[in-house]
Each structure stands twice: as structure tokens, then as C-alpha cells.
């Protein structure tokens, strides 16, 4: 079953949601606002305790979206907190990607169902031949969580223990990744976007089950009538979290990428910031294969004297993502871009800092799968204190865990490595051709 919960398998609408008409927030241009609090979180070791604290304080609504939900190790702490919240009457909605997240263990399916956790899988591929349909390559890759419309967590961190990988087993060092916790207006904006996607998925599920009338009603409920009446969903008040350290009054914006009106929103945010850079650009990105416009923006910045530092994946994870990035190194190195590879553990971060005041933390890689196909979410921040904290952590990673790519050594890499790189690059380009995308 793709979507399940306590009430007999068919989706039961909370009374407060029935009459809502929602503006599709993910189709609007992002706008900056002043959050009440802002906190940088490094790894699941920082994020998961914050999530558990927020879940235990929730009294109305928890929305969670993630590509991977794994109950191994620390992931079980997050799952248990969701169960506790649902048992005391909080509406708990969990939307996972059907490819990233496999079938939960029977024990956890029973726990979630008994507690009333509402669980749904985004875009199942069906049989093993499902991936032959390019439409199925459009995945839910964003990692968002909103609690009571008061606090939003956004970043690259899946519900997955830092020291465990489903494909590689136990890790000797923690995965390198970031998230951000924001209270204030951004949380309500994220809640609307997540509610809209939840209802769209629910309507699609009802249609597949031939509940056509119900699907039509849900489609209308998730339509384009007007903004959500926030008073129906949550009352303003304390988010339930202790004061976050290092508080400032920054400006922040939620930038969502979808396959409708926001196809290029995240890439444009990067390109605008890079185009305005005058001193320094630091980017940490797990799967790096930028398109021509973004590559040229980085090269122009380096040529006009901006120090451009890239911290990229140095530990082998997937053939295509690992090898396809290597052919683009040459032009970047020739332009003066510094490239460092992180191999202490898996680098999963998708973050950047520009000129010590602009920063972004999110789920979007700088590769075609993220920038052209997947649903992604980034938070962009304009604040020197926040940018300084993030850049300090990135510099520490570059200095102590990065291996700088020497242009001369890169130019003399073995023929076999070159062939692997061009094969992976060609496969990526072929995949884009099949989806009708230009990059």
C-alpha cells in the first residue's frame, strides 16, 4: 500500500483541512523575510535531537518530507518521536520518496499505523522496468520538516544515521552534511508548500484506487483559490524550542524547485550570487555536474579575481555521479578555480557561501538530476554571522579533510580514468536527452 494510516487505509481528512483552498506556494517567486531565529545544524548528530525536541513539543501538526527514511540507529529516535506525537493527537504526515525509501520493516509499519502516523510514498516506479519511463526520474529529493507552522528544518540531511549507509554499511566517520532550523514566517510558507504537495499525492493515490470523486474533491482542495487561512491550522505562539544560540536578525528565503513554474529557481539563485561575487565563493556539493551557464559563471568569477573554492565528493558512491563530474574539472582548474575532494567519509552537503554574507543550505546538488528533474528545497540567507559560521566549517573541512586537485596531475590522469569519466558524462547527457531537457 502506498499511503497508509490508522483509519482503514483510505485517507481521512482532518476537519480543519476540508475547506482549505491553497495558493501553490511553490509556484511563487521566493521573497526574503526576517526570521525570528536561525540555526545552522551540522549532520544528523545535531539535526535529529532538534527534530525530536520539536516533535515532543508539537501539539497540532508535523509535516515531514525526505528522500530516505531509515530506522537504523539514530533514525529510530526520529521515528519514535513521530509515534509519540501521533499518539497524543498530533497530525503527523510523512511523505517519502518511493525510490529513496524502501518498504519499512514490519515492526515499524505496525507502530506507525497503530499510532496514526500518516505515511505516503511519492511516485512509486512499480515493476523493475519502471525506470525506463523518464517521467519516473522526477523524484522527491527535498528534506523539509515543519512543526506547528512555527519552525522549519531544511537541508540535505535524510532521516539516516550519520555513521550508516544503506549501500555501504557502517561508516568510520560521519557523513558531512548540513541543515538549517528557522522560526517565523518561513515556516508557514514551507507548511503551505508541503500541504499542497501532500494533497496532490493523496489525490493521485485516490485516482489510482479509482476513488475518482474523492480524487476530484482533493484536487479542488489543493487548487489555486487563495492563501491558506493559517488560523485554521495553527495558532501563533511558542514553537516549543529553547532559544537557539547565535541568534541574529538575518533575511531568509525558501527557494523550491519543481517541474512547473520553478524549474530553474535554485540554479538562478546560485548564478545571481556568483555573478555578484567580488571576494570569495565557497561551495560544498556532493554531486557536482553544473550546466554550461553555471560553469561559466564560476569561471568568470575566478578570472575576475574572486577566490572560488569547491569541496566535492572524493569517496566513491555511485558510478555516474562520481565519474561524470571529473571531465568538467579541466576548464574550471584552468580558470583558477580551486577543487578539493573530501574523502574522510561521504560528503552529502549542498551548501555555499558568497562574499561572507550570502549563504544557502538545502537539498539541491549542482547536477542535472537536482537542477532539472527532482523536487528540491533550499533556504537562502543574507546574514554575515550565519555566513561566517558556515564558511568557517567549510574551511575547516577543506583544510583538514580535503585533497586539492593539482591541475598538472589532473592533466596526466590515466587513460582508464578518462574513459570512465567520459562514459559517465555521456550517460548523463543521454539521460537528459531522453527527458527532453537541455543543460
If asked whether residues 211 and 111 sit together in one domain, one would say: yes
Per-residue cell: 373: 528533474
Per-residue cell: 402: 580535503
Indicate whether 240 belongs to any domain: no
Nearest to 420 by CA among 345, 324, 331, 348: 324
User: What's the rounded Cα separation, in Å, for the pair 108 and 164?
Assistant: 19
Of 224, 248, 281, the one marking the end of a domain is 224
pLDDT per residue of the chain (439 residues) written in tens, 0 to 9: 457 655 444 434 444 343 343 433 333 445 677 778 899 999 999 999 999 999 999 999 999 999 999 999 999 999 999 999 999 999 999 999 999 998 999 999 999 999 999 999 998 886 666 555 656 678 999 999 999 999 999 999 999 999 999 989 999 999 999 999 999 999 999 999 999 999 888 876 555 555 555 555 555 554 433 333 322 223 323 333 333 344 446 799 999 998 777 888 999 999 999 999 999 999 999 999 999 999 999 999 999 999 999 999 998 888 888 888 899 999 999 999 999 999 999 999 999 999 999 999 999 999 988 888 899 999 999 999 999 999 999 999 999 999 999 999 998 999 988 899 899 888 877 777 777 666 6
Whether the CA torsion 226, 228, 229, 232 is positive or negative: it is positive
pLDDT at 162: 97
If asked whether residues 133 and 176 sit together in one domain, one would say: yes
Q: Which residues are catalytic?
A: 141, 143, 148, 348, 350, 355
User: What's the rounded Cα separation, in Å, for the pair 225 and 220?
Assistant: 9
If asked whether residues 56 and 178 sit together in one domain, one would say: yes
**Scanning the structure block, which residue is given the C-alpha cell 551557464?**
293
Indicate whether 189 belongs to any domain: yes
If asked whether residues 203 and 265 sit together in one domain, one would say: no
Cβ burial of 317 (10 Å; 0-12, 13-18, 19+) is middle
If asked whether residues 93 and 203 sit together in one domain, one would say: yes
If asked whether residues 103 and 51 sit together in one domain, one would say: yes
Contact 182, 188 (CB under 8 A): no
pLDDT at 206: 53
Helices marked H in 181-243: 185-208, 212-221, 230-233
The two counts, helices (H) then strands (E), for the chain are 14, 18
pLDDT at 205: 55
User: What's the rounded Cα separation, in Å, for the pair 302 and 337?
Assistant: 6
CA 143 distance to own-chain centroid: 4
If asked whether residues 194 and 310 sit together in one domain, one would say: no
Classify 119 as helix, strand or coil: strand
Classify 403 as helix, strand or coil: strand
Q: How many domains does the chain have?
A: 2
User: What's the rounded Cα separation, in Å, for the pair 176 and 161?
Assistant: 12
If asked whether residues 35 and 171 sit together in one domain, one would say: yes
What domain range includes position 314? 256-435
Residue ranges with strand state E in 110-195: 118-122, 143-147, 151-155, 164-165, 169-170, 178-183
If asked whether residues 196 and 272 sit together in one domain, one would say: no
Indicate whether 8 belongs to any domain: no
pLDDT at 76: 97
Per-residue cell: 100: 529513496
Indicate whether 11 belongs to any domain: no
Dihedral (Cα; 135, 141, 145, 149), 10-degree rounding: -50
Indicate whether 79 belongs to any domain: yes
If asked whether residues 202 and 280 sit together in one domain, one would say: no
Q: What is the CATH classification number for the domain harbouring 170?
A: 3.30.870.10
Contact 226, 19 (CB under 8 A): no
Contact 117, 94 (CB under 8 A): yes
307-313 and 338-342 beta bridge pairing: parallel
Per-residue cell: 231: 488560523
pLDDT at 210: 52
Indicate whether 323 belongs to any domain: yes
Indicate whether 163 belongs to any domain: yes
- DSSP tag of 405: P
**CB neighbourhood size of 247 (10 A):** 14
Indicate whether 231 belongs to any domain: no
Of 224, 239, 272, the one marking the end of a domain is 224
If asked whether residues 265 and 392 sit together in one domain, one would say: yes
If asked whether residues 296 and 387 sit together in one domain, one would say: yes
User: What's the rounded Cα separation, in Å, for the pair 356 and 17?
Assistant: 42
pLDDT at 36: 82
Of 184, 205, 224, the one marking the end of a domain is 224
Amino acid at each position: 500500500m502506498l499511503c497508509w494510516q490508522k483509519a482503514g487505509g483510505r485517507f481521512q481528512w482532518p476537519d480543519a483541512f476540508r475547506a482549505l483552498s491553497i495558493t501553490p506556494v511553490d509556484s511563487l517567486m521566493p521573497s526574503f523575510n526576517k526570521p525570528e531565529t536561525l540555526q545552522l545544524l551540522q549532520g544528523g548528530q545535531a539535526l535529529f535531537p532538534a527534530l525530536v525536541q520539536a516533535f515532543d513539543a508539537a501539539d497540532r501538526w508535523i509535516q515531514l518530507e525526505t528522500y530516505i527514511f531509515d530506522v537504523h540507529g539514530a533514525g529510530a529516535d526520529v521515528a519514535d518521536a513521530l509515534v509519540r506525537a501521533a499518539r497524543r493527537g498530533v497530525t503527523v504526515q510523512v511523505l517519502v520518496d518511493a525510490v529513496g525509501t524502501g518498504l519499512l520493516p514490519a515492526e515499524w509499519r505496525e507502530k506507525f499505523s497503530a499510532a496514526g502516523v500518516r505515511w505516503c510514498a511519492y511516485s512509486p516506479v512499480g515493476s523493475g522496468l519502471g525506470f525506463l519511463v523518464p517521467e519516473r526520474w522526477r523524484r522527491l529529493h527535498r528534506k523539509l520538516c515543519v512543526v506547528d507552522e512555527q519552525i522549519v528544518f531544511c537541508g540535505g540531511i535524510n532521516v539516516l544515521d550519520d555513521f550508516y549507509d544503506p549501500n555501504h554499511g557502517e561508516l568510520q566517520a560521519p557523513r558531512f552534511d548540513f541543515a538549517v532550523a528557522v522560526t517565523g514566517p518561513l515556516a508557514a510558507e514551507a507548511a503551505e508548500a508541503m500541504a499542497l504537495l501532500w494533497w496532490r499525492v493523496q489525490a493521485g493515490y485516490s485516482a489510482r484506487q479509482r476513488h475518482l470523486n474523492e480524487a476530484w474533491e482533493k484536487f479542488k482542495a489543493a487548487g489555486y483559490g487563495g492563501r491558506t487561512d493559517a488560523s485554521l491550522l495553527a495558532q501563533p505562539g511558542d514553537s516549543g524550542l529553547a532559544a537557539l544560540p547565535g541568534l541574529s536578525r538575518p533575511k531568509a528565503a525558501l527557494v523550491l524547485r519543481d517541474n512547473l513554474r520553478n524549474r530553474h529557481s535554485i540554479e538562478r539563485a546560485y548564478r545571481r550570487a556568483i555573478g555578484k561575487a567580488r571576494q570569495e565563493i565557497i561551495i560544498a556539493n556532493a554531486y557536482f555536474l553544473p550546466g554550461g551557464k553555471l560553469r561559466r559563471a564560476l569561471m568568470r568569477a575566478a578570472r575576475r579575481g574572486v577566490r572560488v573554492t569547491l569541496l566535492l565528493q572524493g569517496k566513491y558512491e555511485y558510478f555516474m555521479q562520481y565519474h561524470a563530474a571529473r571531465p568538467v574539472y579541466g576548464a574550471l582548474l584552468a580558470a583558477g578555480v580551486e577543487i578539493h575532494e573530501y574523502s574522510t567519509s561521504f560528503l552529502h552537503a549542498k551548501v555555499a557561501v558568497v562574499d561572507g554574507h550570502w549563504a544557502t543550505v538545502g537539498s539541491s546538488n549542482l547536477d542535472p538530476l537536482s537542477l532539472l528533474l527532482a523536487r528540491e528545497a533550499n533556504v537562502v540567507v543574507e546574514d554575515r554571522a550565519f555566513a561566517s559560521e558556515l564558511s568557517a566549517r567549510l574551511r575547516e573541512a577543506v583544510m583538514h579533510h580535503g585533497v586539492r586537485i593539482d591541475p598538472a596531475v589532473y592533466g596526466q590522469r590515466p587513460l582508464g580514468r578518462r574513459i570512465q569519466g567520459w562514459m559517465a558524462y555521456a550517460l548523463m547527457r543521454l539521460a537528459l536527452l531522453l527527458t527532453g531537457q537541455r543543460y
